Amino acid sequence: MIVAAALPLVADHGAAVTTSQIARAAGIGEGTIFRVFTDKDELLDACLVEAMNPGHVLRELASISLDEPLADRLTQAAEALRAHLGRMGTVIGALHGTGHRRERGSGERQAPGGREASMKATHEAIVELIEPDRASLRLEPGKVASVFLGMLFTRPLPASGDLGSSPGELVDILLHGILGAPGSAA
């Protein structure tokens, strides 16, 4: 409850957020925060772990109906994953930008299962979304999921002036390639 109330404040204020602001947002006394967390840094680390927690996006991916067309399923997945990455980036950027440095060696505060487990679970969730269309694919669903995630997590070069592709455009490129129909003007 404390971390849930703190997350939007941390995204807005970074490490400059006060425990008083967090307590008000959580509807508790400020002293209650320090009965749960030893100090503000521990609370900020808990916010960071929660922002990186893949559980939220995995539930969103699991809620996508397998009855929808593959393009729609993958577009919804891309939107959910981009939103998750955006939330993570906002919290990490706000904390980093205001001077909060997480101890890299403190293993007790890492996200459940760590980065590898998170990526594996995300990959498996995407495979499940692709699996119903296995018979119509040239590649097996696991490879399609890997290409999809690679496309989604790649950013355009800043110098290119490209703002990136929309989730729908990425899915269209994945499913139909970049070439136009033979004889059509590009």
Q: Would you list the DSSP string of 40-105?
A: HHHHHHHHHHHHH-THHHHHHHHTS-TTS-HHHHHHHHHHHHHHHHHHHHHHHHHHHHTT----TT
Q: What does the pLDDT look like over 142-182, one tens digit per residue?
A: 999 999 999 988 866 556 566 678 899 999 999 998 888 77
Q: What does the pLDDT look like over 78-120, one tens digit per residue?
A: 999 999 999 999 999 999 998 887 654 444 445 556 788 899 9
Instruction: From 89, 2, 85, select the one nearest 44 (Cα to Cα).
Output: 2
User: Which domains are seen in the chain, by residue range?
Assistant: 1-52 (1.10.10.60), 54-155+163-177 (no CATH)
Q: Percent of the chain at pLDDT above 90?
A: 73
Amino acid 172 reads: D
- Per-residue burial over 97-117, b if 16 or more Cβ lie within 10 Å, else e, is eeebebeeeeeeeebeeeeee
Write down the pLDDT at residue 19. Answer: 96
Write down the pLDDT at residue 156. Answer: 65
Neighbouring CB atoms inside 10 A of 40's CB total: 17
The rounded distance, in Å, linking the Cα atoms of 47 and 5 is: 10
The residue behind tokens 């307590």 is: 23
